[in-house]
Homo-oligomer: A and B are copies of this chain.
Amino acid sequence: MTRWKPDARGRMIAAAMELFAERGFDATTAGDIAAHAGVTERTFFRHFADKREVLFDGSGTMAHLATEAILAAPASLPPLDAALAGMAAAGGLLADRREHAVRRSRIVAAHPALHERELLKLASLVDATADALRARAVPDPDAALAAHCAVACFHVAFGAWISAADPAPDFARYVDRAAAALRALS
């Protein structure tokens, strides 16, 4: 049947994106995805904790990038600015994959269960950001609040970046714009 075994994981992700986009999330069974990727359903669940998780493979990396950027930021940078630097860094993961990100966000927006999982990933980003700020000796509740605000900017920036007319918009610029609007609130 299939002679290539390499990167079963990547094939499952691609198959899921394709099938979810075509038939929708509900009408696609885990077995469908697995078969389309040339593996068994059992193997699918060995790679992904559940059916939704297949769409959120890079989220851990994003939190990692944000953490590193925040810890690497100059100590003189205020908490909110450090957190925002983390958001811009996390966005670096999207830089070369806007088309993929657009298709993915369309699929996620189409099903409440996927939206819910995305919220969980954003919450993980909030937690990672807050932890990184605490490692910079930012006290609570400032760390938690700054993390929440920064991720809110990330979220708003992502929405604008996804629907930008510019074919290759710079994510960091959108974070800056959201941050400016945030500061203007108070």
Contacts and interface: CB of A to CB of B under 8 A. Distances in A.
A156 B144 contact: yes
Interface string A149-186: 10011011000100000000000000000100111111
B80 A145 contact: no
A57 interface: no
A144 B153 CA distance: 9
Nearest to A79: B185
A141 B178 contact: yes
Given A116-B119, A181-B142, A186 B80 contact: yes
Interface residues of A, number: 29
A35 interface: no
A132 interface: no
A149 B183 CA distance: 11
A184 B115 CA distance: 32
Q: Oligomeric state, in number of copies?
A: 2
- Of A78, A119, A156, chain B has the most CB atoms within 10 Å of the CB of A119
Interface string A78-96: 1110000000000000000
A77 interface: no
Given A115-B123, A141-B178, A148-B152, 15 more contacts: A78-B185, A80-B185, A112-B120, A115-B120, A116-B116, A116-B117, A119-B119, A119-B123, A141-B181, A144-B152, A145-B181, A149-B182, A149-B185, A182-B186, A186-B186
Interface of A: 78-80, 112, 115-117, 119-120, 123, 141-142, 144-146, 148-149, 152-153, 155-156, 160, 178, 181-186
